[in-house]
């Protein structure tokens, strides 16, 4: 016989915070929004965000530009998996190469490479500055010069790169190394015949590299190992960008953090390519994560790539959390059918109000933590339209929020700004929609009906501006609650259900609103 739960499925919009004592000194500038999006354990360092937001793994939301913009602000973008494996891997590579710092994943040329090879490489990568190395050495090889594009139109296509590159020395680099042997520090700037190269085992700080480029009026700075083999390339524009984004989240090589989605169908092949490109977190993208298919996916990834954090989901019950927690997951996404363009609840009758889902899963998470000493972060995915929804998601137990529509209208989302009846808009469609399936094929294992729709989102400008405004509002909420961080918000918050009449009273009423600048 069917089991009927004695509960009511609630949404964030049905609650209001009750103010608590605001202590002196608590302000927007003293609030700490940082949080772990994956578990922090002795055997595995957690992935920490400075701004607890993730952009949804959707075709119309997260490409490389959005992922870069979020990483610069302290959040993280999740590249969508509803595309060919090589295309998703290329997006991850683009984010990693865009880091404001030391570029380690470099395309290289050989002095004997043809000009035609160089042109194809420039066109395929979009990069004009390409190191030229002696390919006889290990890894990147001995640095001998740099090709600074664009290649002149009159350059013979069958010519060689050696004739066009900017050489770094008229004498062999080994001679310079031998001459300075025993006289250089563990890291030192050496002037060769034609340019500057930074040598060192311990490396150079990004600030020092930028200073060297400014002093010597260079746009880039090669960094090589003591034996002369290429290690990194630092670009001045990237270094300056790093100063502009003090909250940027980066990996150990100073590259932007990026997550990528995998599915429960081709995960074994897809994960290999994503890991090779340096992905920081793998996020399983499934409409229902409470399945043996997901268990198989998690088990495989954990066995093949134990160093890569895995976020499972989506789930909406404590029973599902208990099932996944036993599989050594690093995080879990909570939510089903709450997205603005998701129709799973209408089509299948499965789902739950987002507030209820987060509350129940968080309760089981906390019980698991108390029993096993392992804390698994939660990401609230869906049902978030306004900053106040984010505040409730955090208060109810989420460590981060994943959003689609919030970012779909931003400048950095894929697609062009279009005019719709005099209003600027951007296309926005669900991953379970017909449009998404036409692009990528079967995603959830069903092809007979849709679980999402196609629509439009108002154009809202830069993601950074939208996040700044949103977290100013969240900070104001936390100040009223007396919370210095998300953990204190969860401990201190007191909320109550509101009636329909109370909701009307809390908004604009009994007047004609002539103009508004509210956002």
Active-site residue set: 342, 443
Half-sphere exposure of 348 (CA within 13 A, CB side): 18
Q: CA quadruple 518, 470, 284, 313: dihedral positive or negative?
A: negative
* Number of helices followed by number of strands (H, E) in the chain: 17, 23
Nearest residue to 297 via CA among 271, 322, 319: 271
**CA pair distance 515, 125, nearest whole angstrom:** 48
Contact partners, residue 401, CB within 8 Å, separation at least 6: 52, 53, 54, 379, 380, 381, 384, 390, 393, 394
* Residue pair 486/399 in contact by the 8 Å Cβ criterion: yes
* Residue pair 14/355 in contact by the 8 Å Cβ criterion: yes
Strands of 285-355, DSSP E:
310-315, 331-334
DSSP alpha helix (H) spans, 402-462? 405-408, 434-440
Q: Torsion angle of alpha carbons 404, 406, 411, 417, nearest 10°?
A: 80
**CA pair distance 95, 101, nearest whole angstrom:** 12
Nearest residue to 203 via CA among 235, 173, 231, 175: 231
Q: Torsion angle of alpha carbons 406, 18, 377, 414, nearest 10°?
A: 0
* Residue pair 339/404 in contact by the 8 Å Cβ criterion: yes
**CA pair distance 248, 258, nearest whole angstrom:** 12
Other CB atoms within a 10 A radius of the CB of residue 218 amount to 15
**CA pair distance 115, 4, nearest whole angstrom:** 71
């Amino acid at each position: 016989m069917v089991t009927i739960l004695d509960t009511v499925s609630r949404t964030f919009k049905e609650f209001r915070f009750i103010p608590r004592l605001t202590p002196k000194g608590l302000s927007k500038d003293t609030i700490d929004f940082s949080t772990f999006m994956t578990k922090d354990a002795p055997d595995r360092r957690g992935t920490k965000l400075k701004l607890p937001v993730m952009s949804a793994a959707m075709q119309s939301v997260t490409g490389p530009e959005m992922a870069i913009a979020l990483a610069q602000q302290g959040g993280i973008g999740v590249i969508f998996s509803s595309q060919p494996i090589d295309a998703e891997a290329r997006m991850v590579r683009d984010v990693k190469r865009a880091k404001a710092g030391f570029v380690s994943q470099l395309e290289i040329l050989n002095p004997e490479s043809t000009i035609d090879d160089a042109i194809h490489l420039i066109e395929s990568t979009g990069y004009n500055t390409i190191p030229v190395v002696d390919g006889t050495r290990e890894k990147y090889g001995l640095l001998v010069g740099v090709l600074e594009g664009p290649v002149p139109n009159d350059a013979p296509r069958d010519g060689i790169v050696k004739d066009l590159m900017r050489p770094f020395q008229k004498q062999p680099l080994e001679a310079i190394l031998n001459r300075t042997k025993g006289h250089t520090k563990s890291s030192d700037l050496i002037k060769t015949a034609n340019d500057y190269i930074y040598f060192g085992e311990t490396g150079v700080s990004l600030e020092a590299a930028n200073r060297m480029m400014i002093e010597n009026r260079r746009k880039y700075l090669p960094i090589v190992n003591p034996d002369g083999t290429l290690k990194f390339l630092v670009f001045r524009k990237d270094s300056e960008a790093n100063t502009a984004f003090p909250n940027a989240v980066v990996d150990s090589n100073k590259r932007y953090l990026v997550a990528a989605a995998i599915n429960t169908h081709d995960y074994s092949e897809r994960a290999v390519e994503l890991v090779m490109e340096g992905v920081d977190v793998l996020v399983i993208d499934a409409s229902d994560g409470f399945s043996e298919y997901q268990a198989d996916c998690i088990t495989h990834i954990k066995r093949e790539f134990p160093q890569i954090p895995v976020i499972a989901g989506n789930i909406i019950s404590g029973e599902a959390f208990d099932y996944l927690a036993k599989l050594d997951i690093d995080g879990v996404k909570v939510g089903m059918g709450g997205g603005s363009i998701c129709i799973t609840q209408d089509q299948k009758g499965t789902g739950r109000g987002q507030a209820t889902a987060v509350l129940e899963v968080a309760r089981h998470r906390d019980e698991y933590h108390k029993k096993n000493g392992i804390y698994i972060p939660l990401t609230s995915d869906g049902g978030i339209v306004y900053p106040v929804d984010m505040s409730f998601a955090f208060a109810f137990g989420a460590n981060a929020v994943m959003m689609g529509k919030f970012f779909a209208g931003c400048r950095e989302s894929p697609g062009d700004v279009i005019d719709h009846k005099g209003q600027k808009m951007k296309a926005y469609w669900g991953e379970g929609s017909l449009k998404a399936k036409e692009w990528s094929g079967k995603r959830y294992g069903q092809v007979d009906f849709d679980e999402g729709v196609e629509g439009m989102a108002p154009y809202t400008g830069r993601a950074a501006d939208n996040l700044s405004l949103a977290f100013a509002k969240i900070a104001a909420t936390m100040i009223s609650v007396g919370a210095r961080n998300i953990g204190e918000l969860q401990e201190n918050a007191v909320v109550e259900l509101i009636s329909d009449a109370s909701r009307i009273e809390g908004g604009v009423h009994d007047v004609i609103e002539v103009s508004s600048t509210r956002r």
